[in-house]
Amino acid sequence: MELIKKWSNYNIEAGCDEVGRGCLCGPVVAAAVILDEDFNQNLVNDSKKLTFRTRMDLDSYIKDNVKEYAIAELPPSFIDEHNILNASIYAMHNALDKLTTRPDLILVDGNKFHDYLMIPHECIIKGDSKVLSIAAASILAKNYRDQLMIQLHDEFPNYGWNTNFGYATKKHQMALKEFGPTTHHRQSFRLIYD
């Protein structure tokens, strides 16, 4: 199914998505994307439906061919203090803050968002598989976070972050049981030890 390029009658739409909500460690990362009128890439889709290689190949294409994009992250300490839902929304706000173009409408993947600068917004369930700008944002956010977790893996190789990217795989859970949490783990999450 082809993703929708223009969702509304508003002139400038910014698509937003986040990644890392369900992870045991690492930051939550969000991206905001404003498409260029000429943007045309039919491989762009929900990042979860794409292979690692395809996502990485699309990364530079998206960055080079959209009107504007921005990426923001919030650390585990912020997540622990504000909860993961609020941290995800604040990360999207931070990504929007970095845009130099002010959108007329914000399109958000999911069903929750907080008002941002009096700009209208619309939450779209499974928006990353329906709207091109949200799908592009999902790819940029996922690639950024995956690369970050691969770098953190070099510092903490026992947890398998280069393959699980901080999600609660069996290897990650076994490592938590053996080595305990790191400074990158979210203390407010139920870290599994049994």
Confidence at residue 150, expressed as pLDDT on a 0 to 100 scale: 97
What's the token pair of residue 163? 């393959």
* pLDDT tens per residue, range 98-131: 999 999 999 999 999 999 999 999 999 999 999 9
Q: Does the pLDDT value for residue 15 go beyond 80?
A: yes
Q: Establish how many alpha carbons lie within 13 A of residue 1's alpha carbon, considering only the half-sphere containing its beta carbon.
A: 11
Give one DSSP letter per residue of 104-149, joined into a string: SEEEEESS----BTTB-EEEETTGGGTBHHHHHHHHHHHHHHHHHH
Using DSSP, state whether 54 is helix, strand or coil: helix
CB 12 within 8 A of CB 101: yes
Average confidence (pLDDT) over 88-96 = 98
- Nearest CA among 26, 18, 72 for reference residue 47: 18
- Measured between alpha carbons, how far is 11 from 37 in angstroms, rounded to an integer? 11
Confidence at residue 173, expressed as pLDDT on a 0 to 100 scale: 93
- Measured between alpha carbons, how far is 7 from 48 in angstroms, rounded to an integer? 21
Q: Average model confidence (pLDDT) for the chain?
A: 94
CB 17 within 8 A of CB 141: yes
Q: Establish how many alpha carbons lie within 13 A of residue 35's alpha carbon, considering only the half-sphere containing its beta carbon.
A: 26
- Measured between alpha carbons, how far is 191 from 194 in angstroms, rounded to an integer? 10
Beta-carbon contacts of residue 55 (< 8 Å; ≥ 6 apart): 47, 139, 142, 143
* pLDDT tens per residue, range 47-71: 888 988 999 999 999 999 999 999 9
Domains of the chain plus CATH, in order, are 13-179 (3.30.420.10)
Biggest CA-to-CA distance, the chain: 55
Q: Does the pLDDT value for residue 193 go beyond 60?
A: no
Q: Phi and psi at residue 29, in whole multiples of 5°?
A: -125, 135
Confidence at residue 1, expressed as pLDDT on a 0 to 100 scale: 66
What's the token pair of residue 164? 């699980």
Average confidence (pLDDT) over 13-23 = 97
* pLDDT tens per residue, range 23-42: 999 999 999 999 998 898 77
